[in-house]
Chain A
Amino acid sequence: DAGVTQSPTHLIKTRGQQVTLRCSPISGHKSVSWYQQVLGQGPQFIFQYYEKEERGRGNFPDRFSARQFPNYSSELNVNALLLGDSALYLCASSLGTLAEAFFGQGTRLTVV
Chain B
Amino acid sequence: GEDVEQSLFLSVREGDSSVINCTYTDSSSTYLYWYKQEPGAGLQLLTYIFSNMDMKQDQRLTVLLNKKDKHLSLRIADTQTGDSAIYFCAEWIPNDYKLSFGAGTTVTVRA
A48 pairs with B98, CB closer than 8 A: yes
| Distance in angstroms between the alpha carbons of A1 and B99 in the assembled complex | 25
Residues of A within 8 A of B24 (CB): none
Q: Chain B contacts of A98 at CB under 8 A?
A: 30-31, 92, 94
Q: What is the total number of residues of chain A having a CB less than 8 Å from a CB of chain B?
A: 25
Q: What distance in Å separates the Cβ of B56 from its nearest Cβ neighbour in chain A?
A: 13
Binds B, one of A14-22, A61-69, A102-110: A102-110
Binding site for A on B (CB under 8 A): 4, 30-31, 33, 35, 41-45, 48, 88, 90, 92, 94, 96-104
Contacts A42-B90, A43-B99, A56-B97 known; 14 new A-B pairs at CB < 8 A: A4-B42, A33-B99, A42-B103, A43-B43, A43-B88, A45-B96, A48-B98, A50-B97, A90-B43, A100-B33, A100-B45, A103-B43, A105-B41, A106-B41
